[in-house]
A and B are shown apart, each in its own frame.
Chain A
């Protein structure tokens, strides 16, 4: 089973920041993120995703407001970790694929092959107004544009073939320019010439992921992503979604509130609900119970063809530590989870081979 955690501020519950273990005053410090991600690595998790967005999360003053750039958090933590995959979120709607391609390639270099990227769209008119470049696009266009965006990013990663840097002192040539390729992408929303400014990253193609809740996003996942995050209601639903997507590694998202007993877990969640002033709901299934119960559920759902799970900790570090220190040992006891990291790259952990550059295959330029 493959397991990752989705990191978002103090956790996914809006009152998580008031939990006894929470460190709300440190959410904008490197130390917080280093501690959280090294904790995930101690739990041998495949990777972490880092949420990001271009707006303040809430208009309230009793909830967490603000977030740091996810790519830079990942980069800041890369030299402090060795095995865990780092998958920041980027927003395709408002960013340049050229910048994203070199940023993720660079994250791959800084982490020695552990970079991924979770691509998101933004339909928010508020976020569009932060950029002022154009009005918010309709949802269908946003997904089409995101597919083009990923296509451009992937072509840019391939635009330097492996071994393009030759350092031929006799001829005075640093690169073999026949191994560099214009990507010449022209789409409905933008065009990009290439090649990338950054040589092909260690993994060749860093891992691309997207979250989806319906047929159109599932098509984007199938077409563009290596990893799809989905939000099934139950094992049967998971089975249907896996069939609909039809390819790649599908991970089910779950929000988790964990406790040593089911009562304790429920009490924690109730305490947070009370502080928030409303009952927590989510686009993903919310699990409240013990790590052993969660292990049972994950093993059950896995039968539906899921490659793994993306757990969203209700509160950090409480639920994160319950995952790394109780859920993981439980899964290990049941023979369902690694006891040591078996690969040094994220593609390696996910069982994905390192692809040759598409331009090597076709020889076109």
Chain B
């Protein structure tokens, strides 16, 4: 059976994927940029627009990092404002479960769901570091093993709050004077190792019942968390073989939670470069990679692996001859990716060898080893690649990450989407009004 493709947009983030040096690059803060991208995504009939969250500015070598886009607005506030300039598009945001309380987060998501007519989604993440905690009264550091435990209980607590109201409890009948069906609407009690809360929740049941739940972690615990609780998973596995492996692994975990494969969508993040021909797109992709990895960015990237100050090195010269500093990474703060390099010594040795054989400078090496675009080519080629990956069960669709704000999605919407619609694998128009409907998820059963 031919699968329908799910597409969504990721507002460009605060890493070097986002090219700010391009003359077309606009504000990452002003609302007009968010409105532009949301309108494009809605014109293209995407499932949702996604916003990431940041709670502490990144630092490197003890100073605020200044090479990438820095700063972002508040996730909830932007999403609520976007509900005013769109009417169907899902509105998804990352909200950290470590530096928030269930009652407040549940209110915010229930409110967003009401104010958007059932379009809210929550990417549940947990934080790990005392560095971010310094901005919060809760403070705090959580050991790795407790992070998912707290996220699980946080999510359970919010679900209890969402379910504390049933649909139809607001009667609001002027004639009889009955506003509320019962005096216990919103009553809840939740107690576990992390939370001990009880009382009455004060937002009535929202159109979707609760927001759509996304999960982004890639670890075994993260996958298990998604299989148990999430409606969609953001994955990093966008290639055929890698994607199929991840897809099969995660979908196979659903049965033990009494869930079916269609109840959890696998949506890898995907970058793209489009041009009139495949050859032009390949050339353009090379230009974009050089924009993404400036000389200073290349040095900063090596520092994250070497875990030492390499500011004295020339990005256009050879790789450092010093070895990475052993032990915990102290150079870069507030960056999850540093944990990907568990064995910096070996990584450094491999990269040195690679650079020596191919005579690559630091910058050239970094351009090579950091992720290249997921899709590069003409609109026809990219449409073909996307459809192939989805039909081959490497994913259920993609979350597109444009590298230019705010117009980076326009060309995709205008050229690739119509081709997918012609093939009958992508909706010509929205069929429902809620995000759950766009995602093909059944409505929640009444609590």
In the complex, B114 has a CB within 8 A of chain A: yes
Verify A76–B174 contact, CB threshold 8 A: no
A71-B77 contact given A173-B66, A177-B64, CB 8 Å threshold: yes
Residue of B nearest to A107 (CB): B77
Q: How far is the CA of A158 from the CA of B63 in the complex (A)?
A: 19
B7 close to chain A: CB less than 8 A: no
Of the listed stretches A128-136, A208-216, A291-299, name the one at the interface; the rest are far from the partner chain: A128-136
Identify which of A62, A69, A197 contacts B108 (C-beta below 8 A).
A69
B115 touches A175 (CB 8 A): no
Cβ-based interface call for B126 (8 A) = no
Which B residues, 99 to 135, have Cβ-Cβ distances below 8 Å to chain A?
99-101, 103-104, 107-108, 110-112, 114-117, 134-135
Nearest A-chain residue to B181, judged by Cβ? A61
Of B63, B66, B74, B179, which one neighbours A62 at CB under 8 angstroms?
B179
Minimum distance in angstroms from A333 CB to a CB of chain B: 35
- Output the least CB separation between B378 and chain A (Å): 29
Check: B355 CB closer than 8 A to any chain A CB.
no
User: B167 → chain A, closest Cβ, in Å?
Assistant: 12
Pick from A78, A126, A165, A169: contact of B199, CB under 8 Å:
A126
A176 CB to closest chain B CB (Å) equals 7
Contacts of A78 in B (CB 8 A): 31, 81, 84
Chain B contacts of A98 at CB under 8 A? Answer: 55, 99, 135-136
Cβ-neighbour of B134 out of A60, A99, A107, A192 (below 8 A): A192
State whether A130 touches B73 (Cβ < 8 A).
no
Q: In this assembly, does B341 line the interface, its C-beta being within 8 Å of a C-beta of chain A?
A: no
**Among listed A23-31, A232-240, A340-348, interface-contacting one:** A23-31
In contact, B73 and A109 (Cβ under 8 angstroms): yes
Closest Cβ–Cβ distance, residue B367 to chain A (whole Å): 15
Q: Which segment of A39-47, A49-57, A249-257 sits at the interface? A: A49-57
A-facing residues in B237-268 (Cβ within 8 Å)? none
Whether A106 contacts B136 in the complex (CB less than 8 A), given A18-B174, A126-B199, A132-B195, comes out as no
Point out the residue from A76, A129, A194 that lies within 8 Å of B84, measured CB to CB: A76
Instruction: With CB as the reference atom, state the residue of chain B lying closest to A60.
Output: B183
For the complex formed, measure the closest distance between the CB of A181 and the CB atoms of chain B, giving whole angstroms: 10
Does A223 sit at the interface, judged by CB under 8 A? no
- Asked if B21 and A167 make an inter-chain contact with CB atoms under 8 angstroms apart, the answer reads yes
Residue of B20, B111, B202 near A167 (CB, 8 A) is B20
In the complex the two chains form, is B101's CB within 8 Å of A131's CB? yes
Asked if A72 contacts B177 (CB within 8 A), the reply is no
Task: Report the separation of the CA atoms of residues A79 and B181 in the bound assembly, to the nearest whole angstrom.
Answer: 35
Q: Does B56 contact A (CB under 8 A)?
A: yes
| CB-nearest residue of chain A to B107 | A69
List CB contacts (< 8 Å) of B1-46 with chain A.
Answer: 20-21, 29-31, 35
Known A-B contacts A130-B199, A132-B195, A197-B72; the reply to A65 vs B179 at CB < 8 A is: yes
Interface residues in A143-198 (C-beta closer than 8 Å to B):
160, 165, 167, 169, 171-177, 180, 189-195, 197-198
CB pair B66 A72 closer than 8 Å:
no
Q: Are A79 and B84 in contact (CB under 8 A)?
A: yes
* A69–B111 CA distance with the chains assembled, in angstroms: 6
Q: Which of A28, A176, A192, A275 contacts B204 (CB 8 A)?
A: A28
Residues in A56-87 with C-beta less than 8 Å from chain B: 56-57, 59-69, 71-73, 75-80
A301 at the interface (CB under 8 A from B): no
Tell me if B318 is interfacial: C-beta within 8 Å of chain A.
Answer: no
Chain A residues, Cβ within 8 Å of B54: 197
Closest to B55 in A: A197
The answer to whether B213 has its CB under 8 Å from any CB of chain A is: no
Q: A63-B179, A72-B77, A167-B21 are in contact. Are A109 and B72 (CB under 8 A)?
A: no
A103 in the interface (beta carbon within 8 A): yes
A128's closest neighbor in chain B, by CB?
A: B199
Distance of A348 from chain B, by nearest CB (Å): 19
Judge whether A353 is part of the interface by a CB distance below 8 angstroms. Answer: no
Q: Is B135 within 8 A of A192, CB to CB?
A: yes
Instruction: State A126–B85 Cα separation when bound (angstroms).
Output: 37
Count, A-B residue pairs, CB within 8 A: 239
A105 interfacial by beta-carbon distance below 8 Å = yes
Is A261 an interface position by the 8 A CB rule?
A: no
Complex contact A189–B55 (CB within 8 A): no
A17 at the interface (CB under 8 A from B): yes
B72 to chain A, nearest CB (A): 6
Rounded to whole angstroms, the CA-CA distance of A95 and B20 in the bound complex is 34
B156-177 interface code vs A (CB 8 A; 1 in, 0 out)? 0000000001000010101001
* Cβ distance B295 to chain A, nearest Cβ, rounded Å: 7
What are the residues of chain B within 8 A of A2 when measuring CB–CB? Answer: none
Q: Which residues of chain A from 109 to 133 have a CB within 8 Å of any chain B CB?
A: 109-110, 112, 126-127, 129-133
Chain B positions 278-305 with a Cβ under 8 Å from a chain A Cβ: 294-297
| B417 contacts the other chain (CB 8 A) | no
Closest to B70 in A: A175
Contact yes or no, B177 A275, CB < 8 A: yes
What residues of chain A lie closer than 8 Å to B200, measured between beta carbons? 55-56, 126, 130
A94 contacts B by Cβ under 8 Å: yes
Distance in angstroms between the alpha carbons of A179 and B350 in the assembled complex: 39
Nearest CB on B from A68, distance (A): 4
> What A residues does B112 contact at CB under 8 A?
72
Decide if B183 touches A174 in the complex (CB within 8 Å).
Answer: no
**How far in angstroms is the closest Cβ of chain B from A101?**
9
Q: Which one of A53, A71, A133 contacts B101 once the chains associate, using CB atoms below 8 Å?
A: A133
User: Please, how many angstroms separate the alpha-carbon atoms of A67 and B179 in the complex?
Assistant: 13
Name the one of A24, A56, A66, A180 contacting B64, with C-beta atoms under 8 angstroms. Answer: A180
Report if A61-B136 is in contact (Cβ < 8 Å); known contacts: A94-B101, A172-B294.
no
B328 contacts chain A at the CB level, 8 A cutoff: no
Rounded to whole angstroms, the CA-CA distance of A12 and B47 in the bound complex is: 40
How many whole Å from A297's CB to the nearest CB in chain B?
31
For A102, give its contact among B66, B73, B138 (CB under 8 Å). B73
Q: Which residues of A are found within 8 Å of B72, using beta-carbon distances?
A: 197-198
Contact A66 B103 (CB under 8 A): no
Does B83 touch A at the CB level, under 8 Å? yes
Q: Once bound together, how far apart are the Cα atoms of A76 and B72, in whole Å?
A: 18
A199 at interface (Cβ–Cβ under 8 A)?
yes
Q: In the complex, what's the smallest C-beta–C-beta distance from B173 to chain A, in angstroms?
A: 8
Cα of A80 to Cα of B112 in the assembled complex, Å: 16
Q: Are B70 and A193 in contact (CB under 8 A)?
A: no
A96 at the interface (CB under 8 A from B): yes
If A69-B111, A76-B84 touch, whether A198 touches B199 (CB-CB below 8 Å) is no
What 13 additional pairs, Cβ within 8 angstroms, besides A69-B76, A77-B84? Answer: A18-B177, A25-B170, A54-B202, A66-B165, A78-B31, A95-B104, A99-B74, A103-B76, A112-B31, A130-B103, A192-B136, A193-B135, A197-B72
- Closest 6 A-B residue pairs measured CB to CB? A190-B137, A75-B80, A24-B172, A193-B134, A106-B77, A106-B73
A–B complex contacts, Cβ < 8 Å, 15 sampled: A17-B172, A25-B170, A28-B170, A33-B115, A54-B104, A67-B203, A68-B110, A96-B137, A97-B137, A106-B77, A110-B31, A110-B77, A130-B103, A160-B71, A169-B21
Interface residues of B (CB under 8 A from A): 20-21, 29-31, 35, 54-57, 63-64, 66-74, 76-78, 80-81, 83-85, 99-101, 103-104, 107-108, 110-112, 114-117, 134-138, 165, 170, 172, 174, 177-183, 185-186, 195-204, 294-297
